[in-house]
Amino acid sequence: MAGSVFLLLLAGTLLCGLLFHTVSHNEAGDRTRTRRPNFIIILADDIGWGDLGANQQAGQSSSQTPHLDLMAQQGMRLTDFHSPASTCSPSRAALLTGRHGLRNGVTHNFAVGSVGGLPLSETTLAEILHQGGYYTAMIGKWHLGHNGPYSPTNRGFDYYLGIPYSNDMGCTDLPGYDLPSCPPCYPGPQILHNSCYTKVALPLFENRTIVEQPLDLWRLTQRYTSTALNVIHTARERGQPFLLYVALAHMHVPLSPPSYVPHPSEGGVYAASLREMDGLVGAIKNASDASDKENTLIWFTGDNGPWEQKCQYAGSVGPFLGKWQTSRGGGSAKRTTWEGGHRVPTVSYWPGRVPANSTSSALLSGLDIFPTLLSLAGVNPPSDRRYDGIDATDVLLHGKETGNEFLFHPNSGAAGKYGDLQTVRLGRHKAFYITGAAEACGGSKGRQELHDPPMIFDLSGDKGEETPLDPTTEEYKEVDERVRRWREALLYDIATDQSVSTADYATDQSAAPCCDPRHTACRCLTLASACCEEARLWVILLEVSTGD
C-alpha cells in the first residue's frame, strides 16, 4: 500500500514538473518586452558533438566551424544538450511538439511512400506561434509526412522550401558522396544495393508544389541560404515577429560540398561539408545581426549523432565513444542511446540577452525548445495535453544551471521496440535497460542485450561509457532505486494520458511525391529538355572524373 501511495505521489510530482511552471518575476519581465522576440532554430542532421570546433580540446585538429565558434563565443555553448531521439522523424516531432514519441505517436522514420505523418491531433510550435501573431517559415528537411494535411504549410508554417524527408531518399542526377555510393537518375533507375532509392527522384518543394525533381544537391545550400536571408529581410519589412526553422541537409549523406575534390583523403569530403554548413549558419547569423540582432534568438542544435556506419562520411562524437558497446562490436552513435547518439553540439545566441562567452552544463534536450520559445513569446500552449520539456529561460538568459533532473532516451531503431524509454539519465548517472544492435563502420553489430537490473554509468568520470558501476555498491543501489521510480512514474503518466496520439505508418506507392509519373523517376522535364539536361550532366560527370 505504501509503495502504491508513493508511486501516485511521485507521478503527481512528475506531472507538475512536466507542466509549464509558474513564470517568475524575472521571466515575466522577459516576456513583457515591448516587442516579442524572433526565433531562428537551426537543426543540423547527423552531426557529432565533436564536429563543433568550440567543443574540441586544445591541440585537436583545426576547427571547420569558425562561424559557429564565433556564435558560441558571443553566446552560450550548451555542453550537455541532447536530441529527443537518435533518429530523424522522432527527434523532429518531439522538438515541434514538446512531447515524447510515446505521446505524439512518432517513434520511427516515415518513408517515401508514407500515407500519413505527425498525427493531426498534435499541435506544433509553428501552429501556436502562428496563432499568436508570428510569421512562420521553414527551410529544409521536414520528414513528418508529405501528403495533404501532413505537409509543413498545413502544420503551422506560412512558407516552406525544402525536401520532404532525408536527402538520401531519392536519386539525383549528380549524386553526392555516400557509402556505398548510389547511381544517378540517368540513364535510368539502376539498383546497385538495397539502401539506394532509385524509383523516385529526390524532390524539392516550395509550399505544396514540387519545383524541382530531381533537385540539384550541389546547389541546395546556396538556395537554402538565399531563401533564409529573404525570410529574415521580409520579416523585418513587415515588422512582424517571426519563427524561422532551418532543418539542414548537412551532415546527412550524401554529402555534396562545392569544394570537393575527385579523390579526397579520409575526412576531406566531410570537412568540406562541415565548412559549407558553417558558412550557411554564418550567413544567417550575419543577416539576423544586420536586421534585428537584439531581438532575435538563434538556437543551433542537431537531430541526432553521427551515422557511424558511413565511416569517413560520418562526424565525430568527441569523447562520448560508448566504449562498453564498441568493445563488444556494434555502433554507439546514431540510432542508439549511447551519448554519441543523442548528445549534440548546441549553441544559443541572442546579443544582450544570452550572456556572451558563456558555457552551461545544464541537462537540456530538444524537448525544451518548445516550452522555452513559447514562454519567451508570451504564448500559452494548449492545456488539453501533457508535455515532456521544461522552460529553459533561466538557463539561457540568467545563467542558472536548473536543467532537467532526468531525461529519458527512446529506442530509435537499434535495440528494443521503437520509442520505448529504456535508457534514463539522472544527474550524472545514466542507466541502460537495453543495448546493442546498431551497425558500426565496417558492418559489425553488437548483439542486443537486456539489462535487468540496469547497467549504470557515472558520466562525470566516464564520458566514454566504458565501465559500469558495480551493482553491489551503495551508489549503484541508490541510483537504481531512483531511476526505477522515475521511470515507472513517467510510464504511468503516459499510460494515463488521454492526449496520446497514434501515427499512421502505412505506405502506398502512389503516396510518393511525383512531379510527372510519365517520366523516369518522376522527372519534372519535357522530353526535349530532358535530352539537353542529360547532355549537360554527362559533361559535368566527365569533368569530375578527369579532375578539370
HSE, CB side, 13 Å, CA atoms: give it for residue 222: 8
Closest among 427, 371, 354 to 80, alpha carbons compared: 427
The conformation of residue 401, written as its DSSP 8-state character, comes to -
Q: Provide the 3-class DSSP secondary structure of residue 136.
A: strand
In the set 67, 143, 342, 409, the catalytic residue is: 143
Residue 33's contacts (CB-CB under 8 Å, 6 or more residues apart) are none
3-state secondary structure 231-295: HHHHHHHHCCCEEEEEECCCCCCCECCCCCCCCCCCCHHHHHHHHHHHHHHHHHHHHHHHHHHHH
Contact of 251 with 51, CB cutoff 8 Å: yes
- Distance set, CA 466 to CA 319, 333, 509 (Å): 11, 14, 45
| From 67, 88, 100, 196, the catalytic residue | 88
Instruction: With CA atoms as reference, report the closest residue to 205 among 153, 149, 130.
Output: 153
Cα–Cα distances (Å) from 217 to 137, 173, 318, 456, in that order, read: 21, 9, 28, 43
DSSP state of 6: H
Burial state string for 423-459 with b = 16 or more CB within 10 A and e = fewer than 16:
bbbbeebbbbbbbbbbbbbeeeebeeeeeeebbbbbb
Tell me 23's DSSP state.
Answer: P
* Residue 183, number of CB atoms within 10 A of its CB: 17
Does the active-site annotation cover 88?
yes
Decide if 435 contacts 446 (C-beta within 8 A). yes
- Is 3 exposed, middle or buried (CB count within 10 Å of its CB: 0-12, 13-18, 19+)? exposed
CA 410 vs CA 301, 325, 345: distances in Å = 18, 17, 19
DSSP state of 218: G
Host H or E run for residue 456: strand 449-458
DSSP 27-61: HHHHHT-SSPPEEEEEEESS--GGGSGGGSPTTSS
- Check if 515 is active-site: no
Contact 37, 405 (CB under 8 A): no
H or E element in which residue 347 lies = strand 346-349
What's the angle, vertex CA 66, arms to CA 64 and CA 72, rounded to 5? 120
Residue 196 and residue 169 in contact, taking contact as beta carbons nearer than 8 Å: no
Catalytic residues: 88, 143
